[in-house]
C-alpha cells in the first residue's frame, strides 16, 4: 500500500516538533519502518477480536482497532460500547475467543500484559491509573520499573512535556487536580520509552481548557513518531485530531474512517456527535 504517512492529517508537519523538547522523546527502538509487518499492516492491530470477561458472554464481536506508524487513532462510542474492553483485549487483559493482536507484524495474542510492555506497549487505563499515595516522581519511577538503563533523561523529557509535574514532583499524586493526574498517568506510561501509547479516556473529568491542553500534548507526543491509540468521550474534539477514527457500538465496529471523514459523515454526526 501507499506510504503510511501520506494521509497523515494530524502529524504531517514533523518540522514543527521541537528538537530540544519532546521532539527528542524517542520511542524505544522505533525505526519508522516495517520489518516484520506486511505492507499496509498497521503498527498495532487488534483484529476481529471477540471475547468477554471470564466465562461471561462476548462483549467484543469481531471488533477491529488499530494504529499506524506516526498516527493518532481514536475510538469513540456510547457508554458500555466496549471501548475499554477492546483496549484491554489489545493489552492482553482479556482472553480472546477470536481474532488476533499484532504488534509490528508479530502476533502477541498469547503474551501477558507484562510481556507486551516489554515489547514496547504502554497502556494508561481509564481508572486507577496512578499511585495516589506516591509522589509524582515516584509514579514516574514506577513507570520505568522494567528499565535497567538511566531513566533521568526520559524523566526530564516528561517534565519538559508537562512542566507542572516538575514543579510538583515531590507532591503526592493524589493531591493533584484531575488534569494533572492524567499528566502523571501519561508521563508514567512514557517512562517505559514505549513504541506505542494506548490511552483510555485521557481527558475524563477535566475542563474543556485542560482537555485542549492535553490534546495538544498528545499531538506533540505523536509528532515524535510515537503512535497513539486512544479512547475518547469527547468524540468531536478527538476526531478532529485523529488520523483514524473508530466508532464502536455494542462491541462492534459501526463506522471506521479518517477522522475528518467521520466528522463529515451525516449518520455519524446525527447518531454520535449530537447533530
Ligand X SMILES: Nc1ncnc2c1ncn2[C@@H]1O[C@H](COP(=O)(O)OP(=O)(O)OP(=O)(O)O)[C@@H](O)[C@H]1O
By CB under 5 A, what part of segment 51-110 binds Mg ion?
83-84
How far is Cα 4 from Cα 79, in angstroms, rounded to an integer? 31
The 46-75 contact track toward ligand X, x by CB under 6 A, reads -------x--x--x----------------
- Grid cell of 265 as nine digits: 459523515
Residue 225 Cβ vs Mg ion, minimum distance, rounded to whole Å: 27
Residue with Cβ nearer Mg ion (87 or 242): 87
**How would DSSP label each residue in 64-125?**
EEEE-TT-EEEEE-STTSSHHHHHHHHHTSS--SEEEEEETTEE-TTS-HHHHHHHTEEEE-
Q: Which three cell numbers stand for residue 267?
A: 449518520
By C-beta, is 85 or 157 nearer to ligand X?
85
* Rounded least distance, CB 78 to ligand X, Å: 7
Nearer to Mg ion by Cβ, of 83 and 188: the residue is 83
Q: Which residue has the cell 457500538?
A: 249
CB of 151 or CB of 198, closer to ligand X: 198
Per-residue x/- track, 229-258, ligand X (CB under 6 A): ------------------------------
Give the neighbor-by-neighbor strand order of the sheet with 60-67. Answer: 60-67, 44-51, 98-103, 106-107
C-beta separation of 238 from 232 below 8 A: yes
242: its cell numbers: 485523529
The answer to the question of residue 81 lying near ligand X (CB under 6 A) is yes
Q: How far is the CB of 58 from ligand X (least distance, A)?
A: 10
Q: Is 203 in the site for Mg ion (CB under 5 A)?
A: no
Which of these, 222, 219, 226, 228, lies nearest to 198 by C-alpha position?
228
Interacting residues with ligand X (CB under 6 A): 53, 56, 59, 77, 79-85, 126
Interacting residues with Mg ion (CB under 5 A): 83-84, 126
Amino acid at each position: 500500500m501507499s506510504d503510511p504517512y501520506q494521509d497523515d492529517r494530524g502529524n504531517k508537519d514533523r518540522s514543527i516538533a521541537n528538537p530540544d523538547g519532546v521532539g527528542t522523546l524517542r520511542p524505544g527502538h522505533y525505526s519508522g519502518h516495517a520489518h516484520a509487518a506486511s505492507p499496509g499492516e498497521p503498527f498495532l492491530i487488534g483484529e476481529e477480536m471477540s471475547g468477554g470477561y471470564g466465562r461471561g458472554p462476548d462483549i467484543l464481536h469481531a471488533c477491529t482497532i488499530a494504529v499506524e506508524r506516526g498516527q493518532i487513532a481514536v475510538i469513540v462510542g456510547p457508554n458500555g460500547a466496549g471501548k475499554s474492553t477492546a483496549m484491554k483485549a489489545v493489552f492482553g487483559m482479556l482472553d480472546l475467543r477470536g481474532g488476533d493482536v499484532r504488534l509490528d507484524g508479530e502476533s502477541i495474542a498469547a503474551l501477558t500484559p507484562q510481556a507486551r510492555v516489554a515489547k514496547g506497549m504502554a497502556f494508561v487505563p481509564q481508572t486507577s491509573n496512578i499511585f495516589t499515595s506516591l509522589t509524582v516522581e515516584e509514579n514516574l519511577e514506577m513507570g520505568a520499573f522494567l528499565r535497567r538503563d538511566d531513566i533521568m533523561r526520559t524523566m526530564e523529557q516528561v517534565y519538559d512535556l508537562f512542566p507542572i509535574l516538575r514543579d510538583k514532583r515531590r507532591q503526592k499524586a493524589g493531591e493533584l487536580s484531575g488534569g494533572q493526574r492524567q499528566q502523571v498517568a501519561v508521563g508514567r506510561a512514557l517512562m517505559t520509552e514505549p513504541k506505542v501509547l494506548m490511552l483510555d479516556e485521557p481527558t475524563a473529568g477535566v475542563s474543556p481548557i485542560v482537555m485542549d491542553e492535553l490534546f495538544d500534548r498528545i499531538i506533540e507526543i505523536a509528532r515524535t513518531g510515537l503512535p497513539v491509540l486512544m479512547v475518547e468521550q469527547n468524540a468531536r474534539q478527538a476526531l478532529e485530531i485523529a488520523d483514524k477514527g473508530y466508532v464502536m457500538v455494542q462491541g462492534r465496529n459501526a463506522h471506521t474512517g479518517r477522522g475528518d471523514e467521520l466528522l463529515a459523515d451525516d449518520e455519524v454526526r446525527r447518531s454520535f456527535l449530537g447533530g
